[in-house]
Amino acid sequence: KSSAFLAWYIPIKGKVRQFLVLDPWDTTYALSKKFDVGISVGFFLQNGKWNPQVGPIFKLNDKYGAYSVSYRVGTGHELRFGRTFIF
């Protein structure tokens, strides 16, 4: 399974400059009906500087969607907990 969010932010007002973001791109393999394991990748590109992050992701699936936890490293460290819903 794979999912991603890719965006180019263009400000209308304020001091935040435009940037490109891929956050997250998760690719997982189903170990069973309930458990997935895989890799989570993301990056920000702003002012010509890259902020890549990569690490493992674990998902627990249920009839409503999935809980997830990932730990990504790169220019920083990030522990992320998530919940997705299927409609």
Q: Give the pLDDT score at 49.
A: 81
Single out the residue of 72, 79, 9, 13 nearest to residue 44, CA to CA.
Answer: 9
pLDDT at 46 > cutoff 80? no
Higher pLDDT pick, 45 / 2: 2
| Alpha carbon distance 33, 8 (integer Å) | 35
- Prediction pTM value: 0.81
pLDDT tier, 36 (very low <50, low <70, confident <90, very high otherwise): very high
Chain-wide mean pLDDT for the chain?
91
On the question of pLDDT at 18 being above 90, the answer is no
